[in-house]
Amino acid sequence: MIEIDAVSHTFPSRTGAVPALRDISLSIRPGEFVAVLGRSGCGKSTLLRVIAGLLRPTSGRVRVDGGEVDRPSRDVPLMFQRPALLPWRSVLDNVLLPVEFAGRRRNGYRSRASELLALAGLGDVERVAPAELSGGMQQRAALCRSLILRPRALLLDEPFSALDAITRTELAGELQRIHMVEGTTMVLVTHSIEEAVLLADRVVVLTPRPGRIQRILDIDIPRPRAADSEAYQQRAGRRAAELHHLLLTAGAISG
């Protein structure tokens, strides 16, 4: 589905080139949920922007469904940390915004928008203005907006990082549920080990800059995963400890 082939990226600077990514190769299967984990500055967000077509890699290439990525596409939207909802539009109208940008008829997507909002627990606030929603609810609406056109893949750049811990856990659970229903291929960049274990089928651990793949860890825990389940906590604890160790030792091999 997503093929990342020997991707490297270097940013120019006044003092010389700054390498962000080095020789990243990764295959992501259709419907898979992959989390990218690493320390600050390791190139996680750069990798996501390369996949999204917002950055051209210095070398290597990215393909989605066999087609090379050379520009942004509605088929592979990128969801950021802030929801960026238009304050003068209702929640429903915000979700339908990509439909208008694509030149399609709103009426053909109204039922889809309502279904997504109901799935995200927002079925009773379709006509509400974004300012009347909590931060977590706004981010759920932004997630529905990203999914309205049934994209091939959804890229998520730390979408819950600005939220409090409890809301963040709740939204991670909602995202897991939506992924199970929609089956959309998802790539999540996160600093949170717990979030990565809860959501991902595989976790890609990057070394410090320049980011290289240190290890890919399978999260072989059945879904649905409940963060408050004792059985889940036992299995997740082992994976979290392994990831924590990988992050602590990543610097030793990043030269």
Interacting residues of 32 by C-beta distance below 8 A, sequence separation 6+ = 1, 185, 186, 201, 202
Residue 165 belongs to what domain range?
Answer: 2-77+151-253
173 and 244 co-located in one domain: yes
Q: Which of 125, 150, 175 is the last residue of a domain?
A: 150
Q: What's the pLDDT tens digit per position in 176-218?
A: 999 999 999 999 999 899 999 999 999 999 999 999 999 999 9
pLDDT of residue 229: 87
Token pair of 143 as six digits: 């997630």
30 and 126 co-located in one domain: no
The answer to whether residue 219 scores a pLDDT higher than 50 is: yes
158 and 66 co-located in one domain: yes
CB-count exposure of residue 244 (10 Å: 0-12, 13-18, 19+): exposed
CA–CA dist 143, 127 (Å, integer)? 17
105 and 13 co-located in one domain: no
| CATH code of residue 14 | 3.40.50.300
70 and 171 co-located in one domain: yes
10 and 23 co-located in one domain: yes
What is the overall mean pLDDT for the chain? 92
Q: Is 202 helix (H, G, I), strand (E, B) or coil?
A: strand
135 and 182 co-located in one domain: no
pTM reported for the whole predicted model: 0.93
Q: What's the pLDDT tens digit per position in 66-110?
A: 999 989 998 999 998 889 999 999 999 999 999 999 999 999 999
Task: Place 251 in a pLDDT band, splitting at 50, 70 and 90.
Answer: low
